[in-house]
Copies of this chain bind each other. A is one copy, B any other.
């Protein structure tokens, strides 16, 4: 079955993320049941903190990818649901640890968990969700899926450390930046897509295509996020604009702006990022320079290119509503910026 019967025609005019959610409603209900079940613990702080994050209206984009990739070849088994839940747990664990590290205030429009329960609880509940992710994978009995997701997990952590080591370093190259986002973001997108054909024992070509799709989609997603950090609106994003700037993260917009900077501009970037000496008007000035230099446009252009590559990766699959929604999602992930 390609689309649940209860999809109304009107749903097809919704944005692709919403369409995908409607099409995956039954599967995602099964995934959510697993998520809610597996974040339980007699230690009340665990479900309390986990629920704060998990119920906070996250898009569940990564588990949706696992489901949609399985539906591409008409499958929807308990194992897919468990792997989708495991993917969301790995992502949630990463978010909990990121929020401690980034000292951000908002996540999905809500106060971050560590501001309520403290850093220690966020670290430990992150560890708990991470371990529970592995419990779920073990239950599927697929060593190959375990291999893919545990490799992704170590690559994610490696990417996060790399990003930390590169903080406030204005001489970071575009290659380093691409390595970092490939690891910290695209690796989990890729794994979320790849585990579905693996668990269904689909041909190697489909596995490779979906891994490629996930990688490219993840790169497009992170590039767009990094552009949005200098150009979105706090209310729409549910995260503060300028977070990367305040933390001194050297993202592609900044790398491109520095490349074409004159001496005055270069001195500005060195002061605000390199020396991390920022005053109240600096973010505004940074945004203006990123726009004027074309650095934001270039970043979005690169995101569009990866979205296009992602769509191309799906060409080996026959046309279907699921392929269409994944293709549209790739465009949407970038176009949410406008």
A interface, CB within 8 angstroms of B: 41, 43-46, 93-94, 97, 100-101, 119-121, 123-125, 127-128, 130-132, 134-135, 137-138, 141, 143, 146-147, 150-151, 153-154, 156-158, 160-162, 164-165
Contact = CB atoms under 8 A, between A and B. Distances in A.
Contacts of A154: 128, 131-132, 134-135
Q: Is the interface of A mostly helix, strand, loop or mixed?
A: helix
Contacts of A45: 161, 164-165
A156 B157 CA distance: 20
Say how many copies of this protein the assembly contains. 2
B125 A151 contact: no
Contacts of A134: 134, 146, 150, 153-154
B101 A160 contact: no
Given A43-B165, A147-B138, A158 B121 contact: no
Given A44-B165, A101-B119, 6 more contacts: A41-B158, A41-B161, A124-B160, A125-B161, A134-B146, A135-B150
B141 A157 contact: no
A141 B119 CA distance: 36
A176 B94 CA distance: 29
B124 A138 contact: no
Nearest to A145: B138
Nearest to A41: B158
A120 B132 CA distance: 22
Contacts of A94: 127
A274 to B, nearest CB: 18
Contacts of A158: 41, 43, 46, 128
Given A45-B161, A45-B165, A138-B147, A127 B124 contact: no
A2 to B, nearest CB: 33
A161 B128 contact: yes
A130 B164 CA distance: 18
A208 to B, nearest CB: 20
A123 B97 contact: yes
A46 B97 CA distance: 17
Nearest to A49: B161
22 contacts: A43-B161, A46-B161, A94-B127, A97-B123, A97-B124, A100-B123, A101-B123, A101-B124, A121-B161, A123-B123, A125-B161, A127-B157, A130-B153, A131-B153, A131-B157, A132-B154, A134-B134, A134-B150, A135-B147, A135-B151, A135-B154, A137-B150
